[in-house]
Structure 1
Amino acid sequence: MADRRVPEHTDQRLTRSVPRRSNNGSRRSTDPHSLLERATALRAVLSGSPQVVVSGGLGCGRTALVRAALARSSTQVASATAVPSERTVPFGIAHQLAPRLSLTRPTLVAVDDVQHADPESVAFLVWLRRFPNVRVVVTHSAADSPHRAGLSTWEQVWLRPLSPDADPELHVLSGGNPALLAALRDDGGKVGPAARRTLLDLLRGTDSALFDVACGLAVLGPHTALLSALTERHQAAVTALTSTLADSGLLDGGRFRLPGAAEILLGALPRVQAVALHERAAMLLHNAGAPDTAVAAHCVAAQTVGEQVGGTAMLRRAARSATSGLAAESLRLALRACDPADAQAVRLELGQVLWRTDPAAAARTLLPCSGLDPAVLRARWWQGDFSLGLPDRRPAELSLCHEFITGRELLPVNPEAVLQRQHADSAPEALVQALRQVGPARFEHWLTVLERQAVEPTLRALLGCVRAEDAWRRGDVVATAAFAEAALAGLSTDGWGVVIGLPLRFTLLANAALGRETEPHPVPDALFGTAFGPHYRHARGHHHLALNRPHAALDDFTACDDRLGVAEARLALGQLKPAKALLEEEITSTADPRTTGIALRLLARTAARTDRPRLLREAVRNLEHAGDRLELSRALADLGHDRRDRGALAEARLLGRRAGRESGLPGEPGAAEGVLSAAERKVAALAAAGHSNREIGRRLCVTVSTVEQHLTRVYRKLEVAGRNDLPRELLTR
């Protein structure tokens, strides 16, 4: 007895209520939109012409529609499924149907995949039309078959992909193909195992010709004009098979809609077959005069290159205009295949390409090279190695690279001219150094230009450092931290080399100002022999001060000859006389308003009570002129504390609020736990409880000066004028 049920098909999932997962993981019922779109076709099957052929693209729901018709039919049902292996078995389908057939009672005869049926069974189905009680419904794939002509007089029902109304986002990926749409839903809205398996099942479940054409499309990409030659099939057959894919919603203008479809198809091929396809595609593209980059992409995929497609010369030409990834892979292949005499030249080209994305890999490629080639010198300097000496010819870019690393110029350079002449192979560090040297009026313009063009990680990371440097100069601590941390993450630790001191400098400075501890980060010893060494020590010294490590801070400030830092560290240690001498010497020897303002603010801590207001007001004037908002906020906060101590509470409160605005630091009183460091919270809690600075210092085993510094930062962060305004909730922390 024939089985009434139609065998399970992937499309069946669209004909029933399938649990779906929403974005938050909860289950919800499926919108029956797919069945609603098939309502007209379903009526045609159940009550239309006595003979119906249901056709459509791959996975468009032919089996699903017939299953829905069988479930709704009130008549007797006789169903069967044709399979390719039984095409040569005469009357194979007819024998399956015969036990369930009744020529006197209403009967619905359904045959799935009739294109695989034997000719005798198809003739039997046509013969059944003479019986008015028998309705015959067959499904037929979109691909042609010998039976299509014999069934051409039947009513034709064509199932198209679903409209985007039900699920617009997934429609973009699936093209409305019901089977693929259901698989994407199972994968949570992204291309996962179900979608990959469904795509392969759809394409491999048909004859091999369709799968071959699909793989050809996956290999050729936009060069579909060569598909017939690649697959060695007649153009008319290729056009018909491509139309089948398009009618199924799988293609959009000759390209697969599903992201990663090409990789899925080629990954299903044996490696030998995939390589052969890429080799043939490279040959066809080369003969057709396609760009070198298109030919090189296939050579890289096959990991072979022959003289018939241009050899290593073609790969080197392609690298000049290819993306960094393809350029690097092309040159790696060229390096393996080239003559030994050309190896160093190819290695130099490869190193320059790698420099855009991974300076560590570039260094490994370039360091074995001999001579004083600029690329080799840059790689060595980036690692802190200056042992090779300098070339006789010193281009402007090389001089800027040397100055960026060492702080010493090789020859005068016009930075604006270097920026105007920039091109794809320009050294990122040279462009950044030129940017740092242009005047303030042109800085923002060139920074915007470079950021718009920067698509490679090395230049993007260095420009992030420049943004952090500019933000710190303006006193914008929050922006400094964001830019520095983003830049630091842009390259690996090895990739940064000695230049890691640049982003780390601003990370340490910003975190110190924010009261946050910076995660330990290894730095190479060679860093301290470069221009970044003193700046890194200076930043690390301030970080030590913020964490109440004045002795470590003093060591760093002394090593980098930072008199202001040394003075501040000595103030934290309670060494007022040597600190005062250093500050007075600094004020006398500098004309920089920022340095003068900082020195005056620190000097006020050592001065007599009567002199403090004058020094602090002078510090505020200098820092307003300098434009450093962070240092200005510190001077305003100190002046506010002095005014509070003198009883001028209204003025102190105004100064405290202005200090908070200038600093730009997060500082709502209710957010103390998240803003203050651990040391600052302890000091603030004791101060809020009414303890004097001396009592707090005795309890925490720190100097009175350290307590004052912590309280200064607390007042600034919480935007309060003094200890009387500290939030009471600090007592409960």
Structure 2
Amino acid sequence: MAPDDARQDAVLLMDLLREATAGRGRIAMVTGAVATGKSELLHDFADRALDQGALPLSATGSRAERDLPFGVLSQLAQNAPTAEHRAATLELLREGARPPAPGAQSFEPVNARLVDALCAVLRELSERRPLVIAVDDVHHADHASQLCLSYLARRVKYARILLVLSAPDHGAHPQDVLRTEVQRQPHCRQVRLAHLSAEGVAARVRERAGGQAAGFFATRCHELSGGNRLLVDAALEDLGATGEPGERYAEAVLACLQRADPGLLPMARALAVMGEPGAAGRLLGQGEAAAARAVRAMTGAGLLAGGRFRHQVAASAVLAGLDGGELAALHRQAAELTYLESAPAAVVAGHLLRTGHAGDPWALSVLEEAAKQALRDDGVEPAIEYLTLAWQECHDERRRARIATTLVRAKWRIDPGTPIGHLAELTELTEALRHGHLGGGDAIVLARALLWHGHAAEARDVLSRLGDREELDREAVVELEAARAWLRSSWPAFLPHLPEPMPEQASAVARSLGGDRRLESADALASTLREGPQEELVTAAERILRGSRLDEMSMDTVECALLTLIYSDRADRAVSWCDAFVAEAADRHAPSRQARLSAIRAEIALRRGDLAAAARDAQRALELISPESWGVAIGAPLGILLIAGAAMGRHPDYLTQAALPVPEAMLETRFAAQYLYGKGRFALMSGQPRRALRDLRMCGELTEAWGLDVPEFVPWRLDAAEALIRLGEAEEARGLIEAQLAGCGKRSKRVHGMALRLLAAAGEVRHRVMLLRRAADLLQAGGDRYEHARALVDLTEAYHAIGEHRRAGMLGGRAGALARECHADSLLRSPSRGAAAVTSSARHHGRVGHGRSADGTRNGTPEAAATLSEAEHRVAALAAEGYSNREISGKLFITVSTVEQHLTRIYRKLDVSRRRDLPAGLSGRA
């Protein structure tokens, strides 16, 4: 009800008062739902009537006084203006309250005489002064008072009396007879109050808390209350304190139920449990008509919208009065009802969870089905709750073991650390295996979980209990082959402990799993790590990724396929796939998968030379799940983080990560190679070559022992060579570099370029420029911007060393821009002459007077460079890197004259006058 509506109701009552004052008695029947302002209207009107010279007599019905004879009339009598009238009235009331003597006539005729006498007193009062008799909540008035009010209503038409009564307009109350009698009188007027409109709520909020609060809370208050004034005020108090409905709102909900009809509480509780009116009625065993009446009453009170509570706080409030046993019993009834009505498994399982009991024969099947559906729909948390209850309540050992294994898999999707913490069941599962209650496939899954956390001895024990190979079923053989493929690339040292299936079993499974993505992806990664990149494996990895989603069993498949691309020097092709799967993992609320994919994305960024992105993604991988949850795999994100942090020149920021403890069992896994390589690079870049050499040599020993010694994985020989160069052992360094070149040939431009850069550092000064130019070309083509920047820095220094300072200066600007692009501050702060030239050149090209932007490119260059033809672009790129016209001629197989003609057009298009002003960014298209 809006403020205008309230004013109209008050005006109507004042009009009726004027008519009564003129001798035309009137009745006003004020109705409305609970908290529509009935009491407020009566109280305000009584005050205004007094100001107009009328005598207000007020009373309020009460449920507690319903059996007190003449209780409401007694309240009216207390307001009589003279002691004479007050005493006479009270004496009549005392007489009427006496029980009849034994053998006397019934009580009713005595009441009738008393009622006549009481009404005579009231009429006599009205002759002296207009009388307003206001009774609030008349539905709670005692029977005798109702008889008197009904009698009076029929006799006030020509008296100076205004009778104002209020009652709710819903529910079945004893006042219905009184209301019918009163409303049929021709001098009765109906005043129906409604809840506040949205504008009315806003006005009420503004009145109580100010205009700013109305802007913040008015809409929300209307949603929570439906305009019910009591709920509006309570919601406003809670929203102002905490921003959410809370304790005050819950109290108001209960108050509304009590004031409307206490009989509504059972239906309210049933509705809170079932969530739907029809089902709530069936839970209580009520018919549709009774349930509909209760819902209408609660809707009219503003508690419901669309048959449901307006907020969960309201539903919780009506259930709060039940003790734990009563609430569990209610949910148990609900579980049985929903099961019998074939409700979805998740609905039935939800009630079973709140019951904490699943002892009925059908309950375990419902919980397992609900968990299966939840896992399929990425609802991992509820699936874990269903499985936990099922596991606790199951007494069949074989079934209990199967449920426990499914629970391990579900928890693994959230956090790999959880299953081991959860596997207080480990002993139980081992016992189940010993007694033949745990399937071979489940045992292998359990062994993999143990291996992830470095519990190799326990994993061996589990596998040793698989029994005779002939007893392995098809599922177990499939899991064995999947585990074998995973171990080849991740834990090669454990392979000998894996049981071998019988030849006929393996052959049958191999035929049936010929196109199995999980095995194909794991085999592709293992082959890449053992034999190096192969085009057919790259093709297979991309095909696998195209057909994969992050469902329950595919994370290993996706991970192996992405790593196959990365270790095949195809990081650029892995980017979009990885980003898509990261987004999918976030949508599926799977932190464990997000973490593993973030680590992969960090490795992609590192191999593309984006150091900041590599550090950010590796750090996120370590934050999404704890280091403990990473288990032995922590070596991957940790190694990447150390490399990126050191390359950015931020060694102090990553000292904590460098000292982070890792599982001892990690040294038996592929992740140890990544960790040791990262730790060695970190030590090398922080000026500790001997420490770096120890870590790098250990990395090499492990990869050689496992047969994973391919340079595209970890080119440890090159970094060990760099450490030896810094220690003055150039000859030994050359041996490692040449061994690396012999191992990879020219198949990896990135590794080949890195090797040539170090070969230049270990060789004579006069050969360095040639080697470094080749290194820079290869690294640019290989897509690693950081390694390319390192080669350019060394080439700048090499030019200085042979006295070609002009070329050094020209190249220094490009090297500086590329180093900043990679966030490789370590290159810019290097104390060497070359790095100093890089920094100096970058400062020179950053001056506004030279028409350059801060990144060393001429203002407007990207747009101007787009006008160059392909041939002009190739010439410009080589010229920007310091190549002479004759050298460009030789590289591009064109004449020197043609080079000169190209440069003339290039200078004009780019608005530069000399070679050194050519922008560094030109090489991106060359």
Question: What is the rounded CA distance, in whole Å, between the counterparts of 2:762 and 2:601 in structure 1?
Answer: 36
Aligned runs of 1:473-552 on 2, under 5 Å?
Answer: 473-516=607-650, 517-518=653-654, 519-520=656-657, 521-545=660-684, 547-552=686-691
Which sections of structure 1, spanning at least 5 residues, go unmatched? 1-32, 668-675, 685-705, 726-733
Residue in 1 that maps onto 2:560:
433
Q: 1:303 to 1:641 in 2, by over 3 A?
A: same
Residue in 2 that maps onto 1:625:
781
Residue in 2 that maps onto 1:559:
698
Q: Which amino acid aligns with 2:448?
A: R
Aligned runs of 1:359-378 on 2, under 5 Å?
Answer: 359-363=416-420, 364-365=422-423, 367-368=426-427, 369-370=429-430, 371=433, 372=440, 373-378=443-448
Q: Which amino acid aligns with 2:665?
A: A
Instruction: Tell me, yes or no, if structure 1 residue 291 matches structure 2 residue 344.
Output: yes
CA contact (8 A) 1:219 1:278 kept: yes
Per mean C-alpha deviation after superposition, the further-off stretch among 102-111 and 114-123 is 102-111
Instruction: Tell me, yes or no, if structure 1 residue 321 matches structure 2 residue 373.
Output: yes
C-alpha offsets along residues 174-225 of structure 1, whole Å, 9 cap, x if unaligned?
555424432342334223443344444444565443222222122113x542
Instruction: Tell me, yes or no, if structure 1 residue 406 matches structure 2 residue 565.
Output: no
Give the SS at the match of 1:145: coil
Give the SS at the match of 2:402: helix
* 1:496 shift after superposition: 2.5
Q: How many residues align?
A: 655
Aligned runs of 1:172-251 on 2, under 5 Å?
Answer: 172-177=223-228, 178-203=232-257, 207-221=261-275, 223-251=276-304
CA contact (8 A) 1:174 1:180 kept: no
Question: What is the rounded CA distance, in whole Å, between the counterparts of 2:791 and 2:43 in structure 1?
Answer: 81
CA contact (8 A) 1:57 1:245 kept: no
CA contact (8 A) 1:623 1:632 kept: yes
Residue in 2 that maps onto 1:331:
387
Q: Which amino acid aligns with 1:150?
A: L
- Give the alignment's Cα RMSD to 1 decimal: 4.3
Residue in 1 that maps onto 2:397:
341
Q: Which amino acid aligns with 1:116?
A: H
Correspondent of 2:174 among 136, 146, 152: 146
Question: What is the rounded CA distance, in whole Å, between the counterparts of 1:218 and 1:459 in structure 2?
Answer: 36
Q: Which amino acid aligns with 2:644?
A: A
Residue in 1 that maps onto 2:212:
none
Instruction: Tell me, yes or no, if structure 1 residue 659 matches structure 2 residue 818.
Output: yes
Question: What is the rounded CA distance, in whole Å, between the counterparts of 2:615 and 2:131 in structure 1?
Answer: 77
Which sections of structure 2, spanning at least 5 residues, go unmatched? 18-25, 81-124, 184-188, 203-217, 434-439, 470-476, 499-509, 522-542, 701-715, 849-926
CA contact (8 A) 2:796 2:811 kept: yes
Question: What is the rounded CA distance, in whole Å, between the counterparts of 1:330 and 1:490 in structure 2?
Answer: 25
C-alpha offsets along residues 381-409 of structure 1, whole Å, 9 cap, x if unaligned?
22222525598614464445435642699
* 1:447 shift after superposition: 6.0
Q: 1:191 to 1:145 in 2, by over 3 A?
A: same
Higher share of residues assigned helix: 2
Aligned runs of 1:559-598 on 2, under 5 Å?
Answer: 559-561=698-700, 562-570=716-724, 578-579=732-733, 581-590=735-744, 591=746, 592-598=748-754
Q: Which amino acid aligns with 2:198?
A: S
Question: What is the rounded CA distance, in whole Å, between the counterparts of 1:375 and 1:480 in structure 2?
Answer: 32
Give the SS at the match of 2:164: strand
Instruction: Tell me, yes or no, if structure 1 residue 86 matches structure 2 residue 145.
Output: no
Q: TM-score w.r.t. structure 2 length?
A: 0.62
Q: Which amino acid aligns with 2:590?
A: E
Give the SS at the match of 1:159: coil
CA contact (8 A) 2:548 2:558 kept: no
* 1:273 shift after superposition: 0.9
Q: Which amino acid aligns with 2:784?
A: D
* 1:278 shift after superposition: 0.5
Question: What is the rounded CA distance, in whole Å, between the counterparts of 1:555 and 1:144 in structure 2?
Answer: 89
Residue in 2 that maps onto 1:448:
580
Q: TM-score w.r.t. structure 1 length?
A: 0.76
* 1:72 shift after superposition: 6.9
C-alpha offsets along residues 334-387 of structure 1, whole Å, 9 cap, x if unaligned?
222222433222222322222222333323436332344332122122222252
CA contact (8 A) 1:640 1:721 kept: no
CA contact (8 A) 1:112 1:138 kept: yes
Question: What is the rounded CA distance, in whole Å, between the counterparts of 2:583 and 2:639 in structure 1?
Answer: 22
Q: Which amino acid aligns with 1:620?
A: A
Give the SS at the match of 1:151: helix
Residue in 2 that maps onto 1:350:
407
CA contact (8 A) 1:92 1:118 kept: yes
Q: Which amino acid aligns with 2:407?
A: L
Q: 1:358 to 1:398 in 2, by over 3 A?
A: same
Give the SS at the match of 1:138: strand
Correspondent of 2:194 among 143, 151, 159: 159
Q: Which amino acid aligns with 2:168?
A: H
Q: 1:513 to 1:219 in 2, by over 3 A?
A: farther
Aligned runs of 1:301-316 on 2, under 5 Å?
Answer: 301-307=354-360, 310-316=362-368
Question: What is the rounded CA distance, in whole Å, between the counterparts of 1:169 and 1:65 in structure 2?
Answer: 26
Give the SS at the match of 1:455: coil
C-alpha offsets along residues 489-510 of structure 1, whole Å, 9 cap, x if unaligned?
3323443222233333333333
Question: What is the rounded CA distance, in whole Å, between the counterparts of 1:537 and 1:324 in structure 2?
Answer: 35
CA contact (8 A) 2:692 2:723 kept: yes
CA contact (8 A) 2:793 2:835 kept: no
